[in-house]
Amino acid sequence: MFDFDGVLTDNRVLVTEDGREAVTCSRADGLGFDILRRAGLATLILSTEKNPVVSARAAKLGVPVLQGISDKGVALEKYCKKRGIALSRVMFAGNDLNDLSAIRCVGIAVCPADAHPRVAAACKVRLRTRGGYGVVREIAERVLGLDYG
């Protein structure tokens, strides 16, 4: 399970004069999601934002998304309960304070290298990769023990 802003993006936003937003994402994450999917692992994007850019990226990646989530922990609990998934078997990657409720309810909490200090302290794993620069790819490679070197 993945936060969007600050995990799949570098947490910055470009706002055009007409109010539309654009973000930068890593193509390495697209391959990361493909690797996880081929391994039979389910994925989900959870976002506080309700924004077309989140929907567009999730659609391109072929990943389900829940948007406009005020409490990610509660949303994650409901999502997993409905699907019979034990929270102890869930990995969540988040970077900021609004991710703490989800981080605290999962079995494995992961954060990018540039996560907020309180989030980093709450996570079991701090990645080498910064948000927006291939977080999903690093997770996929670490979880599946892949070595492309």
Given this model, what pLDDT does residue 117 score? 98
Q: How confident is the model at residue 148 (pLDDT cuts 50, 70, 90)?
A: low
Q: What is the pTM of this model?
A: 0.93
Class of domain 2-144: alpha beta
Decide: helix, strand or coil at residue 9.
strand
Residue 43: exposure state from Cβ atoms within 10 A (0-12, 13-18, ≥19): buried
Q: Specify the pLDDT at position 146.
A: 74
At 3-52, the pLDDT tens digits run 999 999 999 999 999 999 999 999 999 999 999 999 999 999 999 989 99
67-123: pLDDT as tens digits: 999 999 999 999 999 999 999 999 999 999 999 999 999 999 999 999 999 999 999
pLDDT at 147: 64
Instruction: Look up residue 35 and give its two tokens.
Output: 């690797």
What is the residue-averaged pLDDT of the chain?
95
**Higher per-residue pLDDT: 124 or 146:** 124
Assess whether pLDDT exceeds 80 at residue 149: no
**Helix axes 135-144 and 27-38, enclosed angle (nearest 10):** 30
Structure confidence at residue 145 (pLDDT) = 86
CA triple 87-115-140, angle to 5 deg = 55
